[in-house]
């Protein structure tokens, strides 16, 4: 979930879609639902600071481990970045002069829906964090991977940092 002005967006995890709402006169108004592909398990969504028409969506499906940058004005996917891990959430960190960095967290597959076959026991949990540089011209240039950390733990959600 993220907020930009009076608009907030949430993921519809099992559908893979996004829902947009507006707060008007102390009431919540549904704006629209956006579903641009057949992917499911949309886990996290963030407005990209400085780019009011763009959102960063994290997918954690076993068949669609990726992030996508979506242009809300044109309702189109402008960047698709496949992942080895199941993407969970992203945050943004300003680094001065309008530059942004985006730590993206991912995780092992761990949802078993209560059924764990003996031949495929659950794996030990681990976490992966990616660090992206967000170009000023992100509408035409994709985020650039700067670093990847992998280790013990479980990373699930991020939060935008405002200094």
Enter the pTM of the model. 0.85
Where does the pLDDT of residue 131 fall: very low under 50, low under 70, confident under 90, or very high at 90 and above? very high
Q: Kindly list the distances between the CA atom of residue 140 and the CA atoms of 15, 74, 78, in Å, as whole numbers in the listed order.
A: 28, 13, 8
Where does the pLDDT of residue 74 fall: very low under 50, low under 70, confident under 90, or very high at 90 and above? very high
Task: Inform me whether the pLDDT recorded for 108 exceeds 70.
Answer: no
Lowest pLDDT segment from 13-22, 72-81, 145-154: 145-154
Task: Inform me whether the pLDDT recorded for 150 exceeds 60.
Answer: yes
CATH H-level, domain 2-152: superfamily? YVTN repeat-like/Quinoprotein amine dehydrogenase (2.130.10.10)
- Distance, CA of 156 to CA of 90 (rounded, Å): 10
> Would you list the domain boundaries of the chain?
2-152
- % of the chain at pLDDT higher than 90: 55
């Amino acid at each position: 979930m993220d907020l930009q002005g009076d608009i907030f967006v949430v993921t519809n995890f099992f559908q893979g879609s996004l829902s947009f709402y507006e707060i008007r006169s102390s009431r919540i108004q549904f704006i629209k639902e956006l579903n641009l592909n057949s992917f499911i398990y949309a886990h996290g969504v963030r407005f990209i600071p400085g780019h009011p028409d763009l959102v960063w969506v994290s997918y954690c499906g076993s068949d669609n481990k990726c992030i996508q940058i979506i242009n809300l004005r044109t309702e189109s996917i402008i960047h698709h970045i496949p992942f080895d891990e199941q993407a969970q959430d992203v945050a943004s960190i300003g680094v001065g002069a309008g530059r942004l960095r985006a730590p993206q967290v991912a995780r092992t597959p761990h949802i078993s829906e209560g059924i764990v076959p003996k031949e495929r026991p659950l794996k030990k949990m681990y976490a992966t964090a990616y660090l992206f540089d967000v170009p000023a011209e992100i509408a035409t240039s994709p985020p650039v991977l700067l670093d990847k950390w992998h280790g013990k733990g479980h990373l699930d959600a991020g939060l935008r940092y405002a200094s």
